[in-house]
Amino acid sequence: LRQLEDHWDTFVTKEHLETLAESGINWIRIPIGYWAFNLTDDEPFVNGQVPYIERILGWAQETGLKVELDLHGAPGSQNGYDNSGHRVTPEWLHSRTNVDRTLDAVRKMTQLAVDWEDAVYGIQILNEPSRWKWPVSDILEFYNEAYDIVRSMTNDVYFVIHDTFLGPNEWSTLVSSNWTNALMDTHIYQMFDNYIITLNETAHIDMVATMAENVTRFDRSSIGVVVGEFSAATHDCTKYINGLGRGSRWEGTLEYVDHPLCPFENCTCTGDYGSDYTGFSDHYKRFLRRYIDSQLSIYDRELAGWFYWNFRTESAPEWDYMLGVEQGWIPKFSRTAIPMTSDEESEISATDLVS
């Protein structure tokens, strides 16, 4: 716990939030594991996060930033990925106890929203539940239960759901007609696919419009859409991006990938694709700017907003928003905090605040 407390004390500071606000960010997304709210003795986690979350909420209030609280991990794991807390075979909806504990975490997150009503503008009830593991109808049942809890406590915050990796043409199956003040969260990346990672720079930029086409065509009259995660990365060389010790598609070292998949003859995670941004070529930095601009021109203009993953990192340059702004491959924005109302889609420029 002491090591985590040292990390919590230093990785996110008020100065970081002030810098984000100065660069034009107006909304931050805080991913939280369920173990911050309820933890059993046999689980491999520690809690103690809530006071630090509330400290961030206080800083956000002081700097004019709005906050989305995001339940990022559920008991039993909602997707089996390490971002749910641990890489396992997902068991979340196999147990009513798991569901009840998830809803308890939603209830406690919503209480934070009530207590910090001037800061919290959204509750994402669960990040990336897997449609491959459970029927969409079962996930919708959970969404409806969570909606009832949130709305029994407040009507003021946005109720945010994830698209479960369904295509936009199927999103309507995840939405109930009686919901109000709701947002659909979709995540758009170009490095977790064996074909897309083989594309050259021009094709990656062209792919932005292709991947966003159905998103922008989705009927947003009943539910708004935010891109809840994206980044400047087009390779999977980043340390642990595929999981601890799992290798990369780029170099051909990931399980079930039998040859390097980068678009070059020499596929190494060095230079432009390494962890040291000081080694980036001017050409690559210009590409990063074009790639980011092409994404923001859609997400910022046509959707309710976006969250960049992540606000800062330790050694992952293309995933580091603050570094990107400092180095010029991410633009600054001139606007300040513009909260949305239930009957309009104001632009949100935002970043995930992962600690």
Tokens of 106: 């939603």
E strands, 45-164, are 66-73, 120-124, 158-162
**Chain centre to alpha carbon of residue 281:** 28
Residue type, 107: R
3-state SS class at 202: helix
User: Catalytic site residue 265?
Assistant: no
Catalytic residue among 15, 54, 128, 251: 128
Evaluate whether 56 touches 15 at the Cβ level (below 8 Å).
no
Residues 6+ apart with CB under 8 A from 141: none
- Of the CA atoms within 13 Å of residue 50, those in its CB half-sphere come to 16
3-state SS class at 184: strand
Catalytic residue among 68, 229, 251, 318: 229
Tokens of 300: 């910022």
User: Catalytic site residue 117?
Assistant: no
Distances (CA, A) of 173 to 69, 75, 297, 341: 24, 24, 28, 25
Residue 307 is inside which H or E element, if any? strand 305-308
Tokens of 233: 């990365």
Report the b/e string of 167-202 with b at 16+ CB within 10 A.
ebeebeebeeeeeebbbbbbbbbbbeeeebbebebe
3-state SS class at 351: strand
Could you tell me what percentage of the chain is helix, strand and coil, using 3-state DSSP and rounding each to the nearest 5? 40, 15, 45
The residues carrying an active-site annotation are 128, 229
